[in-house]
Amino acid sequence: MTTDKGVDFPFFTTSEDHEELRQAVRNVAEDKIAPHAAEVDETAAFPQVALDALVASDFHAPHVAEQYGGVGADALATCIVIEEVARVCASSSLIPAVNKLGSMPVILAGSEELKEKYLPPMARGEAMFSYGLSEREAGSDTAAMKCRAKADGDDWVLNGQKAWITNAGVSEFYTVLAVTDLDGKRGSNVSAFVVEKSDPGFTFGDLERKMGIKGSPTRELIFESCRIPGDRMIGAPGEGLKIALATLDHTRVTIGAQAVGIAQGALDFAVGYVKERSQFGKHISEFQGVQFMLADMAMKLEAARQMVYVAAAKSERGDKDLSFFGAAAKCFASDVAMEVTTDAVQLLGGAGYVKDYPVERMMRDAKITQIYEGTNQIQRIVMARQLLKR
């Protein structure tokens, strides 16, 4: 893989600003978010306290450029924010992650008018942004979507549904993909729109009852003759899937960051536990079998972190091989997160299997990182196609 400048593999380092940011986010996460994480999971309640804390510290949508009222964090800084929040509460980390996912189509392809209208309220913490691509029968096969948008004068009228939408019902703004040309070529007949929560004909389905990330509401978006102005289209007609896939190239990196954060939280807790837990007259951390498990967990976690950070650097530069690296970082990091959290439960033994300790929650939360924003099977297809193109 090469960059535009021909470098075989990009070297990078986190700057002093990045490390100061990490400590600042960690302080907020540990002081304001961690104390509520178990309750958020138990009650499946949206983490409002976390949102308030993130807004107060400008960590809720750090990716928004300064010209639109944001802090202008680069892609790596945004990943660090998500990673550190996920370390204590995966549900809360979806606030900055999904704000980027939902708004990225506007950033990449939206008109200046759309950017001026929708990015500043998100930057101020007045609104969140979600992303509506998947449907019940159009998950990995996005081009099979049934949601329709029909032109009516200067407006568009949406009918259909979107499924598995993160933070649905809480977000004020939604990027929605819909077929706009029934006779057009499959995949080239889809357009992207911004839909507002208050738009007539736009409602939500029931909350999904999930295994993990319970504090992040997941619901269907339902459109019944939902009329929106024509100037809410993102990009040109028929460019929707192109924009959607370009968005995922960037935002899969943030899911990798979330996975790294979840795994780090589980490893941290497991290390502390084995140093305190005694069996056979000594701490179980003194047993070589336990040490080997910890070493493997940490080794794989650091490899995942490096992959995510390299992909974040590529996202910032817009490198041509971002598709490969974004997919690879998401795939590898999420697989590592599942392995590390499962091993953390194992290291705690029976204690790891009960809700008195956070590692069982982290294991449940980690699973979704292998599924959303493209299953890891799809990530492998993306990677293989990029390789075969060369």
Judged by phi (left if over 0) then psi (alpha if -120 to 50, else beta), residue 164 lies in left
Our CA dihedral for 128, 134, 140, 143, rounded to 10 degrees, sits at -120
- Euclidean distance between the first and the last CA atom of the chain, given in angstroms as a whole number: 9
Our CA dihedral for 367, 369, 374, 375, rounded to 10 degrees, sits at -30
Q: Are 348 and 273 in contact (CB under 8 A)?
A: yes
| Dihedral sign for Cα atoms in the order 256, 259, 263, 264 | positive
Catalytic residue ranges: 373
